[in-house]
Amino acid sequence: MEKTWRWFGRKDKITLDMLRQIGVEGIVTALHEIPNGEVWNEEAIRGLQQYIESFGLRWSVVESLPVCEAIKYAGPERDELIERYKISLANLGKCGVKTVCYNFMPVIDWIRTDLARPWADGTTSLYFDRVRFAYFDMKILAREGAEKDYDAEMLRKVQELDRTITEAEKDELIDAIIVKTQGFVNGNIREGDKAPVSIFRRLLAQYEGVDRDRLRENMRYFLSAVMPVCDRWGIDMCVHPDDPPFQVLGLPRIVTSEEDIAWLLNAVDNPHNGLTFCAGSLSAGAHNDVVKMAERFAARTHFVHLRSCNILPDGDFIEASHLEGRGRLVDLVRIFERLRPRVPMRVDHGRTMLGDDKLGYNPGYAFHGRMLALGQVEGMMTVVKDELQKI
Ligand code: DNO
């Protein structure tokens, strides 16, 4: 696999010079300064590409070229937005940047309730607490009918939390769920936005009446429309699985399981319609057997995220070390090194450690934690490649 790293552009405190020194080969990035829905022109793409190349690296993957909400819920402006998306894809193709990651999650991208859950060794990692998330849904967002989505035990726990939670904790929860995790991934809400909860309610309202089947149809429509451009320029689209891989806030999520992925690959059966195999997202769902899915979908996997989760008895999940957990990274490295030896791979997230917390990195994207994880994964790759040579 090609060793890549998610880098957030020239403003990232982690420089390309640092990345070159730790053995990174390819860069995963985006034109973060361009608002969702606007065309990425060739000049801007080439500018960033040349900067990356001046460090002896290459721009391997776009993460992400965001799909606007109106494409997902099929608003009146959808065709116009798809046309612009196609122009951006063609411009990327002309520059030779040919792997494009995106997601099809309505309103909200990845979700965590706690950005710095302490471990006994003094590091911290990201965490998803089911009760706190339900609390956000029912008590902060106050979504109509939300109670129907939870069982009696959960409703009881949310009432209990309501008696003890402080105002500061509520603000932290809002910040974690809809501000800090979203803004930097080109989300709908950015740091500094006033009244994020009201913005969020307006976004949710756009999905009224959009169920799983409608969302699937809208995804098929989008993929069918962009495939001719992908064929022309040799671009591989790779959808990121929903994180976490289950329904949230009454919104449909359609990239959550083996069945979902099989559906979307068949719905538009073109090799350019592929998958970002994110072991972290998939392993947060108890229904997913990540190793089996990697075997099955390797041929259509164009990008790999290596990360691992552990699901706790109460259903919460924590981001585990890259050496353990349900992500079974050793097995995944065996599968992808054998079946897709040139596929770009990045370690996804990592522990916050050794002073990372003071440097203002994006949540999950600290330097030391990711560097350690990359070292661990490189070790696995070296052993596996050696094994494969001996066969
Ligand atoms: C979070 C990321 C996601 C991912 C997008 C891809 O850490 O894995 O935000 O980049 O969903 O479109």
Task: Give the span between the Cα atoms of 261 and 259, in whole angstroms.
Answer: 6
Pairing of β 99-102 and β 114-118: unpaired
Ligand 1 pocket check for 91: Cβ under 6 Å: no
Q: Which of the four pLDDT bands, split at 50, 70 and 90, describes residue 267?
A: very high
Active-site option among 272, 302, 305, 322:
305
* Tens-place pLDDT, residues 56-100: 999 999 999 999 999 999 999 999 999 999 999 999 999 999 999
Ligand 1 pocket check for 336: Cβ under 6 Å: no
**Mean predicted confidence (pLDDT) in 12-35:** 97
Active-site option among 73, 102, 207, 365:
365
Q: Which atom of ligand 1 is nearest to the CA of 64?
A: 12
- Phi–psi pair at 99, nearest 5 degrees: -120, 120
Beta bridge partners of 309: 319
* Tens-place pLDDT, residues 271-319: 999 999 999 999 999 999 999 999 999 999 999 999 999 999 999 999 9
The whole-model pTM stands at 0.97
Ligand 1 pocket check for 61: Cβ under 6 Å: no
Q: Which atom of ligand 1 is nearest to the CA of 105?
A: 11
Active-site option among 127, 240, 272, 302:
240
Pairing of β 124-128 and β 317-319: antiparallel
Q: Count Cα atoms within 13 angstroms, Cβ side, for 372.
A: 15
Q: Count Cα atoms within 13 angstroms, Cβ side, for 160.
A: 8
Looking at the chain, the whole-number percentage of residues with pLDDT higher than 70 is 100
Nearest CA to ligand 1 atom 3: 110
Task: Give the span between the Cα atoms of 250 and 244, in whole angstroms.
Answer: 14
Ligand 1 pocket check for 64: Cβ under 6 Å: yes
Q: Is the pLDDT of residue 186 over 80?
A: no
Instruction: Give the position of tokens 């998330």.
Output: 133
pLDDT of 188: 86
**Mean predicted confidence (pLDDT) in 211-216:** 97
Active-site option among 114, 236, 260, 348:
348
150 is catalytic: no
Q: Which atom of ligand 1 is nearest to the CA of 364?
A: 7
Q: Which of the four pLDDT bands, split at 50, 70 and 90, describes residue 121?
A: very high
278 is catalytic: yes
Ligand 1 pocket check for 109: Cβ under 6 Å: yes
Task: Give the span between the Cα atoms of 46 and 25, in whole angstroms.
Answer: 18
